Structure 1
Amino acid sequence: MSLLDARDTRPLEGGASFSLGNRLFRAAWMATWLVLARFTPPPLHPWRRLVLAVFGARIGKGARVHASVVIWNPRNLTLGEQVLVGPGTRLYNQGHITIGARTVISQRAHLCASSHDIRDPHFQLVLRPIVIGQGCWVAAEAFVGPGVTMGDRSVLGARAALFTDAQQGGIYTGNPAQLLKTRDPD
């Protein structure tokens, strides 16, 4: 595991949370995305899928990732078929992020798959994977917090902040997000 023990590295004093190998990999990833993908035009989704796959992402057929998306670590990313990750989205995937088929992550949404142990005086980083089911929608500028699972067909409204699991077909709004209603089964 590339996650380091905060007792040894002291991140509050500027120490690293991840191994040197992990940090070098991410530096290579960021430079590659900047040079080969960041300024590509919108229709070049197949090219960006290839770049992501070369760096270890698992990408379903027809997934579309916009050039302005920020991905912390492609090795910790799984996208199902026909997923759309919109412009300006931030996938802060220190922990794994899985997005199911036919799900839309709208512009400037933020998915954060890690946190810190607030009881630990060393502020240990804790990886908490995010799982978003099939046919979901995370609307513009919404936030999905660490460890959250969104059931199939659930919706997170614009600028909402989800910190607990979302039930299948549930529509959530607000900060913190609350169940508003459920989607029709059709």
Structure 2
Amino acid sequence: MTAPQLNADAGDRLPATSASTPNAENPVLDAAPLADLRLYDQSWFDRGRPGWFILLWWLVQAIAFPLSPHPFSGIRVWLLRRFGAQIGKGVLIRPTARFTYPWKVSIGDYSWIGDDVVLYSLDQIEIGQHCVISQKTYLCTGSHDISDPSFKLKTAPIAIGNGAWVASDCFVAPGVKIGANAVIGARSSVFSNIPAQQVCLGTPCRPRYPRQMN
């Protein structure tokens, strides 16, 4: 039997690809959409403030935040408090941090919020004392129901315990709680609760070993 015949025979034994079998090499593109975005409705969603107040906040954030000098965190903290954020003493906020609805955000004493951090606060975001949320991290309290044809909006709060460090470029999903003194390694994606005082890494993020202090 020749080599080409062996290859042909082996190929004949492979199962045929059906419509229900995922095919990454040649995915179907022109199927009927499962969602109908014309049905989308978030009229039930409470943003927590009237429209004019939200627009005013977006203007203040777009103009005042990036124009405030890097070391003048106190100005940014003062503005956030004026718009309803609960912020403790000694908190550092970098100029390019973004808060969707500050009145749904609580930050404990001496915590740091880095550059390009996004607090997508459709729901409550609670950050404890002495926490570090490093640059480009995204705290996301909103998602959608992928089984609903109307692509229904879903929200859930995020809570980060005292002394936790969420390192650079992480994603924290709706409903997640990160335990006190935990460390989330750079570029991790956190989709479930994290136990206290554990060093955690990966996508999905998982505990690796206890955090030890010298």
Normalising TM by the smaller chain, what interval? 0.7 to 0.9
Alignment match, 1:13: 38
Q: Does 1:99 align with 2:127?
A: yes
Q: Answer whether contact 2:41 2:150 (CA < 8 A) is retained.
A: no
Following superposition, the deviation at residue 121 of structure 1 comes to 2.1
Q: Answer whether contact 2:97 2:113 (CA < 8 A) is retained.
A: yes
Q: Secondary structure at the match of 1:123?
A: coil
- Which of 138, 154, 164 pairs up with 1:110? 138
| Counterpart mapping for 1:18-167 below 5 A | 18=45, 22-167=50-195
CA distance in 2, matches of 1:118, 1:75: 28
Q: Secondary structure at the match of 2:66?
A: coil
Deviates more, 1:118-127 or 1:130-139: 118-127
Letter in 1 for 2:207: L
CA distance in 2, matches of 1:14, 1:31: 30
TM-score w.r.t. structure 1 length?
0.88
CA pair 118-85 structure 1, distance change in 2 beyond 3 A: same
- Give CA-to-partner distance per residue, 1:61-95, whole Å, 9 cap, x none: 01111110111100110000001000011111101
CA distance in 1, matches of 2:116, 2:144: 25
Task: Give percent identity, aligned residues only.
Answer: 34
Which structure is larger by alpha-carbon Rg, 1 or 2?
2
Q: Secondary structure at the match of 1:38?
A: helix
CA pair 19-153 structure 1, distance change in 2 beyond 3 A: closer
Following superposition, the deviation at residue 117 of structure 1 comes to 2.1
- Give CA-to-partner distance per residue, 1:31-76, whole Å, 9 cap, x none: 0112222221121111111100010000000111111011110011
Following superposition, the deviation at residue 150 of structure 1 comes to 0.4
Deviates more, 1:105-114 or 1:25-34: 25-34
Following superposition, the deviation at residue 120 of structure 1 comes to 2.2
CA distance in 2, matches of 1:12, 1:185: 51
What is the RMSD computed on CA atoms of the aligned residues?
2.1
Following superposition, the deviation at residue 23 of structure 1 comes to 4.1
Deviates more, 1:87-96 or 1:118-127: 118-127
Q: Answer whether contact 2:127 2:162 (CA < 8 A) is retained.
A: yes
Alignment match, 2:201: 173
Deviates more, 1:119-128 or 1:50-59: 119-128
Aligned residue pairs, count: 177
CA pair 152-19 structure 1, distance change in 2 beyond 3 A: closer
Is there any run of 5+ residues in structure 2 with no aligned partner, and where? Answer: 1-35
Following superposition, the deviation at residue 141 of structure 1 comes to 0.3
Following superposition, the deviation at residue 170 of structure 1 comes to 1.2
